[in-house]
Structure 1
Amino acid sequence: MPIFHNKVAIITGGSFGIGRATAIAFAQEGAAVVIADCEEDPERETLRQIEANGGEATFIKCDVSKASDVAAMVEKTIGLYGRVDFAFNNAGIEGVSATTQECTQENWQRTLAVNLTGIWLCMKHELYYMLQQGSGAIVNCASVAGLTGFPLLPAYVASKHGVVGLTRTAALEYAKSGIRVNAVCPGVIKTPMIDRFTGNDKQIEQHFREMEPVGRMGEPAEVAAAVVWLCSDAASFVTGTALPVDGGWTAQ
């Protein structure tokens, strides 16, 4: 029997990259999956892969920076499946590279709106139903940039540090309510976001690989495996942690 049989998982940012890999991983473990994203992959690849392997999934369009979108997305999940057991709050943007002094207010506000306010909004509505159930597991997507500083990414780094703090706070608030809240902190993972950041420049990509102690970029499926574990009963005594999935980056 799959470990998530008869369970329901929400994956934000589920159309691409880490979100896609995690949605597929949850479906492989038997969960019905809600793929929430502000845009749907034109090829519907996440949905296609899940359904091709006998899984169940639904796409719901959702901009996590908009409270009305998030509320509607979670309520639609409840309407379709009657419950929400797991949530991977993953939707995020990298923002525009600039020094702290040169970072625009527009970039600052947009990056925090998606990466931090968006996670808070998702948790707010997910927790409402998890509290009624008396159970649930939430994993928020932070970053190694939530554990250390990175030049030229002030808004992104601030948002991801905020995710770690929010995760720890919620974990303490709901520790006795049957709800666990954790974060994953990916290192350099081969995703469309990294492709945008590097511009597919082979020299920059090589620089990133050399910065990773393991000598390579991570794969989205490696982050997905950590998320699945954090939501599983195998991690029943784990809450409030910010788990690096970073090839040793933060050990340096």
Structure 2
Amino acid sequence: MSQRVVVTAAARGIGRAIADRFLASGATVWGCDVDDEALGELRAALPSVKAARCDVGDKAQVESFLAEACKSMGGIDVLVNNAGIGGGHAAVEDVTDENWDRSLAVNLSGMFYCVRKVVPLMKAQGSGCIINISTGSVRTGLPNRLPYVASKHGVMGLTQNLARELGPANIRCNAILPGLIDNPRGRALVQRAADEAGKSFEEFEADMLKYISMRTWIDPLEIGDTAVFLASHAARHITGQFLGVCGGVEWEP
């Protein structure tokens, strides 16, 4: 029987790469996103993926989406909590209540809402796998990105505690910590940082890569392949782990 997989924020970037790799592994995939245009692109590119609009920061929308996905697939074997937002760019004293609250709502509470819904289903079937997408920045810190980094640290605690609590029910939980992602969003972030520093893209890129031991960007499909592995039989006893797919990020300028 093929795996039944849910991927949040599946329409673009890392989420789409994760959906793509699970499809290639033979899984049945349901995805969600808040971007209607991106959802249309996802349906066109990966017509086998069932996709619906859902803001994971809204628990009512999460309940509805996951109920629909479960009914359609007959259960959920794998939940990939990928949805997240950048949280703005500001000194701590300038962080707005809106940015702080929205970052926690999407990046942390959204994962909790999804987990709370799928865990009873996984317990009933006697197995399950939860994969949370965090960031390599929890290990380096990022000045002026407090809402993002703090919420992603929360994801680490969520992951560790879920692994301990759910292990006896044969439900595993791990986190993937991506590095410098080579996609339009990742390159736009580097360009913005370069502009703020008064440097060219190439100069700032070199500044970043020198603090990555393998001097590399990360292909989003690498995150997808890692998620597929963590959900596989080969990883059946891997839980409570924080797996960096980052080329060895040591620091971030």
TM-score, scaled to structure 1? 0.91
Is 1:220 aligned to 2:220, yes or no? yes
On the 8 A contact 2:212/2:251 being kept in 1, the answer is no
Q: Aligned equivalents of 1:191 and 1:68: distance in 2?
A: 31
Offset at 1:79? 1.5
Offset at 1:105? 1.6
- Name the one with the larger helix percent: 2
Offset at 1:151? 1.0
The amino acid across from 2:44 in the alignment is R
What are the equivalent positions in structure 2 for 1:190-201 lying under 5 Å apart? 190-199=182-191
Deviates more, 1:120-129 or 1:202-211: 202-211
Aligned pair partner of 1:28 in 14, 24, 29: 24
Say which SS state the counterpart of residue 92 (structure 2) adopts.
Answer: coil
Offset at 1:112? 1.0
Q: What residue number does 2:208 align with?
A: 208
Aligned pair partner of 1:106 in 98, 116, 139: 98
Say which SS state the counterpart of residue 139 (structure 1) adopts.
Answer: strand
Say which SS state the counterpart of residue 130 (structure 2) adopts.
Answer: strand
TM-score, scaled to structure 2? 0.90
Aligned pair partner of 1:9 in 5, 10, 35: 5
Q: Give identity over the alignment, percent.
A: 34
Offset at 1:42? 4.5
Q: What residue number does 2:129 align with?
A: 137
Aligned pair partner of 1:48 in 44, 47, 54: 44
Q: Aligned equivalents of 1:176 and 1:112: distance in 2?
A: 29
What are the equivalent positions in structure 2 for 1:68-147 lying under 5 Å apart? 68-147=60-139
Superposed CA deviations along residues 182-239 of structure 1, whole A, max 9, x for unmatched, are 0000111123432342346524334333332222211100111111111111111100
The amino acid across from 2:145 in the alignment is L
Offset at 1:249? 0.6
Q: What residue number does 1:61 align with?
A: 53
On the 8 A contact 1:24/1:49 being kept in 2, the answer is no
The amino acid across from 2:117 in the alignment is H
Q: Aligned equivalents of 1:40 and 1:220: distance in 2?
A: 21
The amino acid across from 2:82 in the alignment is N
Superposed CA deviations along residues 120-173 of structure 1, whole A, max 9, x for unmatched, are 111111112111111110100001123332111111110010000000000100
Change (3 A) 1:63 1:210: same
The amino acid across from 1:151 in the alignment is P
Change (3 A) 1:43 1:79: closer
Change (3 A) 1:213 1:232: same
Q: Aligned equivalents of 1:83 and 1:190: distance in 2?
A: 33
Q: Aligned equivalents of 2:149 and 2:230: distance in 1?
A: 23
On the 8 A contact 1:64/1:70 being kept in 2, the answer is yes
Q: What residue number does 1:232 align with?
A: 232
Structure 1, unmatched stretches of 5+, are none
On the 8 A contact 1:24/1:46 being kept in 2, the answer is no
Aligned residues: 244
Structure 2, unmatched stretches of 5+, are 195-200
